[in-house]
Amino acid sequence: MRPQTPLLALSALVSGAVLATSVGVTAPAQAAPKHDKTTITTVIGHRGASGYRPEHTLESYRLAIALGADYVEPDLVSTKDGVLVARHENEIGGTTDVGSHPEFAARRTTKTIDGRSVTGWFTEDFTLAELKTLRAKERLPLVRPGNTRFDGQFEVPTLDEVLDLVATESKRTKRRIGVYPETKHPTYFDSIGLSMEEPLVATLKRHHLDRGNAEVFLQSFETGNLRDLDAMTKAPIVQLIDASGAPYDLVAAGDPTTYRDLTTPAGLARIAEYADGVGANKELVLPRDAAGAATVPSALVADAHAGDLFVHVWTLRAENQFMATNFRRGTDPYAPGDLGAETRAFVAAGVDGIFTDNPDIVVAAR
């Protein structure tokens, strides 16, 4: 049965410029979620409020909640001792200060991750205690220079710590805030003996979140681990779909199925065997023309809904460079475009949820 999105009161419209520099923002009280077909578009804080704080930090998640996000999204990777932590990738040279730690200099190495050669420092080569000596930094310093003022302040959080934060903020704000974990590179982690599914499900059970009606979605770009999770937990499952390429587990198995194949009615029926929804690259819903402008909606949302799957799109960001040309303002790629207009276009296209780096703007616009 397709889970529905929570009904939340709209936040007051507050400028992104003010929120980007404010601390301790308090969101208005919101209604408890209702799982029915009248609910409005879910807003997912992509890596927290990563437009305003370094991504995948407790402060980024906390701010996303304050700005009205319904869910926060931790990407999950494993430590050497099997603890799930929140990082965009297992390579952490670009998101932590590990490069400035001489004691870890010898751990810089080159690995093949999902068929690509990657050089840097990797979470699986560090114990949790060692990772806790590092501090997060802004991943996109040229795009978001304001976020660099927080460099060096925040730890790498564990999934347990993220879930504790969400529970605390839910109680404090009297809102049912959700968590939307993504397993990163599960085939790779399986290959080195650090399977992700078991610790993920165990953590959900420890926090009493292994329920079909819990505010949890589990997502991945691969398919096999989602099939495994579907058999292990009651939490809703979301198949991520990119605009190009293919799920790496299928590539590794010699299966020629691409992400585009999964967007067809037959592909969506295949997804519905194990998942409750799809998380789609936004260009799959609003395709772009040769000039880069968003066009009319594709059939994806209608086809997914016909197959009893919900559709969440990723990722709406405030800066021009991340937008179709008809949502941009001016020519500076780093300047803010019209994220409100982009949000309304996706709501009009019928999507059930939106991942965003700027929850305040999307909450106000939806």
**Residue 132 burial class via C-beta count within 10 angstroms: exposed 0-12, middle 13-18, buried 19 and up:** middle
**Closest Cα to residue 177, out of 145, 148, 217, 143?**
217
3-state helix, strand, coil in the chain (%, to 5): 35, 15, 50
Instruction: Give the pLDDT of residue 39.
Output: 60
Q: How confident is the model at residue 6 (pLDDT cuts 50, 70, 90)?
A: very low
Q: Residues of the chain with pLDDT > 90: what percent? A: 89
Instruction: Give the pLDDT of residue 212.
Output: 86
Element (H, E) at 354: strand 353-356
HSE of 288 in the Cβ direction (CA atoms, 13 Å)? Answer: 15
The domain segmentation of the chain, as residue ranges, is: 16-90+150-365
Q: Identity (one letter) of the amino acid at 225? A: N
Q: How confident is the model at residue 23 (pLDDT cuts 50, 70, 90)?
A: very low
**Closest Cα to residue 311, out of 299, 321, 327?**
299
- Judge whether 219 and 238 are in contact, CB under 8 Å: yes
CA distance 10 to 8: 6
CA distance 73 to 179: 6
Q: How confident is the model at residue 306 (pLDDT cuts 50, 70, 90)?
A: very high
Is the pLDDT score of 143 beyond 90? yes
- Judge whether 188 and 220 are in contact, CB under 8 Å: no
Instruction: Give the pLDDT of residue 156.
Output: 98
**Closest Cα to residue 41, out of 68, 79, 14?**
68
CB atoms within 10 A of CB 130: 18
CA distance 55 to 178: 17
**Closest Cα to residue 151, out of 134, 172, 163, 130?**
134
Is the pLDDT score of 311 beyond 80? yes
16-90+150-365 topology per CATH? TIM Barrel (3.20.20)
178 forms beta bridges with 71
Instruction: Give the pLDDT of residue 191.
Output: 98
pLDDT (mean) for 181-191: 98
Is the pLDDT score of 236 beyond 70? yes
Instruction: Give the pLDDT of residue 40.
Output: 81
Q: How confident is the model at residue 37 (pLDDT cuts 50, 70, 90)?
A: very low
CB atoms within 10 A of CB 212: 13
Q: How confident is the model at residue 267 (pLDDT cuts 50, 70, 90)?
A: very high
* Residue 211: both structure tokens together: 């329920």
Instruction: Give the pLDDT of residue 28.
Output: 34
The torsion angle over the Cα atoms of residues 85, 354, 171 and 37, rounded to 10 degrees, is -130
pTM for the full model? 0.89
pLDDT one-digit tens code per residue, 329-341? 999 999 999 999 9
Is the pLDDT score of 77 beyond 60? yes
pLDDT (mean) for 3-7: 37
Is the pLDDT score of 85 beyond 70? yes
